[in-house]
Structure 1
Amino acid sequence: MKKILLFALAAILFNCNGSAQKKETKKDSFPITKTDAEWKAELTKMEYYVLREAGTERAFSSPLNKNYEKGVYHCAACDTPLFKSEHKFDSGTGWPSFDKEIEGNVAFTTDYEIGYARTEEHCATCGGHLGHVFNDGPKATTGKRHCINGVALKFVPENNTKDE
């Protein structure tokens, strides 16, 4: 009986990451598309790793995590405005967190990379990987926590922003 349960558990775990469950987006389905060589020439190694290879920066490594200035957070790859500072909060996770995105500028897909479904966020303009959204954000607002890699963002202070 133990062998059957062990076999069933192993089958479930290995099936959770099957090829039929890979990401639903194509990198060439966004308004801005570039070759890998073009992105590598424009981005730092860490920006490329996060934005183009869906990597994750180390927790607490981004200076934007504790940035409390007013302004707008843009995509580091294509400069699309993604999040407003008024929606930023300290989640304690070590990554910049927001309870709301700028509608229409962030695209969402399902990510099964770690064996279960998570909602992945991309820049809707260039497809750059931003992070993930979870349902454990501030209940007083949206209840969402957009957990974003700081290296995927460029902060534009309020006095430098246009009406967005």
Structure 2
Amino acid sequence: MRTKALILFLSVISVSCQAQETNPKDSVAMKPNVEKTDAQWKSDLSPEEYYILREAGTERPFSGKYNLHFEAGEYKCAACGAVLFDSDDKFESHCGWPSFDNVADNDAIIERVDRSLGMVRTEVLCANCGGHLGHVFNDGPTETGMRYCINSVALDFNGNSESKSDSTSTGH
């Protein structure tokens, strides 16, 4: 009886995982605009950037320079400079990584199923260069319901006075 229950459980898990693979934003055959050899990436990126962006690593929680950073501006891919997130979409999630509830442009990122570490998650990649940014979860506190949990190392910040934050300021 236990064997039948285990088989049924595994079947349900398998079907659930397969359903996640049909995500319309999922891109297994992505072809980034920026193509470099492994040697070029190693030359262009710091060892920590290479580990995060090219090897899908993760920085330690609460260690990143943008975790508690809330200036007005835009967050770009540290590997290629593509604009990924706007400061208006950043919020404090208390998870230890910069969190955003939306992307700057729907074409800025690629989402794909990540089955590493014995979990099924949605990995977020830069659509321009294919760099690993972090993961997205559907447990965000805002109306979008999304929490893009992004490594600070994968980001650069460009502060400016022309961001949406400044142009629509409500005094808070």
Q: What interval of TM-score do these two structures reach, taking the shorter chain for normalisation?
A: 0.7 to 0.9
CA deviation vs aligned residue, 1:76-111 (integer Å, no higher than 9, x gap): 000000000000000000100000012211111111
Q: Report the CA distance shift for 1:124/1:24 in structure 2 as closer, same or farther (over 3 A).
A: closer
User: 1:16 matched to which residue of 2?
Assistant: none
1:125 pairs with 120, 123, 128, which one? 128
- Counterpart CA distance in 2 for 1:4 and 1:107 is 38
1:88 pairs with 76, 87, 90, which one? 90
1:74 pairs with 69, 73, 76, which one? 76
- Amino-acid identity (%): 48
1:110 pairs with 102, 106, 113, which one? 113
One-letter identity of the residue aligned with 1:126: C
User: 1:50 matched to which residue of 2?
Assistant: 52
- Counterpart CA distance in 2 for 1:43 and 1:72 is 20
1:155 pairs with 145, 154, 157, which one? 157
Residue 115 (structure 1) shift: 2.4
Residue 66 of structure 2 aligns to a residue whose secondary structure is helix
Given the alignment of the two structures, is residue 143 of structure 1 paired with residue 145 of structure 2, yes or no? yes
- Counterpart CA distance in 1 for 2:83 and 2:36 is 19
Tell me, yes or no, if the aligned pair for 2:27 and 2:110 is still in contact at 8 Å.
Answer: no
For 1:6-17, what aligned pairs fall within 5 Å after superposition?
none
Given the alignment of the two structures, is residue 99 of structure 1 paired with residue 101 of structure 2, yes or no? yes
In the alignment, structure 2 segments of 5+ residues that lack a partner are: 14-20, 164-172
Q: Report the CA distance shift for 1:26/1:52 in structure 2 as closer, same or farther (over 3 A).
A: farther
- Counterpart CA distance in 1 for 2:147 and 2:104 is 14
- Counterpart CA distance in 2 for 1:85 and 1:24 is 26
Residue 39 of structure 2 aligns to a residue whose secondary structure is helix
CA deviation vs aligned residue, 1:117-162 (integer Å, no higher than 9, x gap): 21110000000000000011124x201000000000000001488x
TM-score by length of 1: 0.81
- Counterpart CA distance in 2 for 1:38 and 1:8 is 48
Residue 64 of structure 1 aligns to a residue whose secondary structure is coil
One-letter identity of the residue aligned with 2:126: C
2:41 pairs with 14, 39, 42, which one? 39
